């Protein structure tokens, strides 16, 4: 969880019910959280693999779109992170 920008992206997703990949990418690039498209893709894939995010592929439109939302496990993890007093 120490990956650069992880918390910023995770918290941003938590504030929204669900978001498309391009919306997340635009937020990350505009706020200089990541330097490249590959960085955000790697981060999102990592969060999905650990069950923190759910990925939904929308294939009935062209081009295909990918939507993400924070899973229940992700919500619990983020609440625990926020409750820790540093």
The answer as to whether 58 is a domain residue is yes
Chain centroid to Cα 7, Å, comes to 9
pLDDT at 1: 44
Q: Which residues pair with 70 in a beta bridge?
A: 53
The answer as to whether 11 is a domain residue is yes
The answer as to whether 85 is a domain residue is no
Split into its structural domains, the chain has a count of 1
pTM above 0.85, yes or no: no
Are 72 and 56 in contact, with CB atoms under 8 Å apart? no
Whether the pLDDT of residue 70 is over 60: the answer is yes
Segment 28-46, tens digit of pLDDT: 999 988 888 888 898 899 9
- What is d(CA 86, CA 70) in angstroms, rounded to the nearest whole number? 24
Could you tell me the residue range of the domain that residue 21 belongs to? Answer: 6-78
């Amino acid at each position: 969880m120490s990956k650069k920008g992880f918390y910023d992206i995770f918290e941003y997703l938590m504030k929204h019910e669900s978001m498309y990949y391009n919306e997340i990418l635009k937020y990350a690039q505009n706020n200089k959280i990541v330097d490249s498209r590959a960085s955000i893709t790697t981060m999102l894939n990592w969060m999905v693999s650990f069950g923190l995010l759910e990925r939904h592929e929308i294939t009935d439109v062209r081009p295909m779109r990918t939507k993400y939302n924070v899973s229940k496990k992700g919500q619990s993890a983020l609440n625990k992170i926020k409750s820790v007093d540093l």
